[in-house]
Amino acid sequence: MLIQNKEDLLLLFQTDGWIMDILKTVKTLELPDWWVCAGFVRSKIWDTLHGYRERTPLADVDVIFFDPAEVDEGYEKELELRLQQLAPTIPWSVKNEARMHLVNDIPPYTSSEDAISKFPETATGLGLKLDVWDQVIVTTPWGLEDVLEMNIKPTPLFQSSPELAAIYEKRIVQKNLKSKWPQVTVFHT
């Protein structure tokens, strides 16, 4: 499938039963400002662009939400448990972005989309969720160019200091995305 724009992406996700099941499962939690994001979204795009018939295995399915009133990490673990009961074969990871700035030692996020814009790589700064009619909504704070051209580049935040640039570079080595998707191009800080 050729993916050239946001409409092509929406069709790609909307016609994937597995992705739709995951989104519908997360939607049942009724979390504020929720998204399924990062590698879950990028991997589907790059698998498609590489012509893979089978999905590249995921370390986890990242679910984020934004709730300043519920910043206890234990609540996130409760949500993961609920999701595991609903879909036990999925490696769920749930994070409240209202507290994640503390973990990352950066200024507070204003929303989940703000948090997505501050992920380390532009091609991973993507999110999906469902509207009230179960239509896919996609957020792409850095646009689609890098993910569609299979470029791994640091977001501006991860270029803003030597410490964050080092985190980006370490992730590039650890994730070794080029071994999974050989057509990607890695850009360094």
pLDDT digits (tens, 9 = 90+) for 135-167: 999 999 999 999 999 999 999 999 999 999 999
| Domain positions in the chain | 6-184
104 Cβ partners below 8 Å, 6+ apart? 118
Q: What is the CATH number of domain 6-184?
A: 3.30.460.10
Which amino acid would we find at residue 98? A
In whole angstroms, give the CA distance from residue 103 to residue 92: 19
Give the gyration radius of the chain's Cα atoms: 16
Nearest alpha-carbon partner for 62 in 146, 145, 141, 125 = 125
Please classify residue 182 by burial: count the beta carbons closer than 10 Å to its beta carbon, then call 0-12 exposed, 13-18 middle and 19+ buried.
exposed
| pLDDT for position 53 | 94
Backbone angles phi, psi at 133, to 5 degrees: -100, 15
pLDDT tens per residue, range 63-78: 999 999 999 999 999 9
What is the rounded average pLDDT of the residues 106-119? 95
pLDDT band at 104 (very low <50, low <70, confident <90, very high): confident
Q: Over pLDDT 70: what percentage of the chain?
A: 100
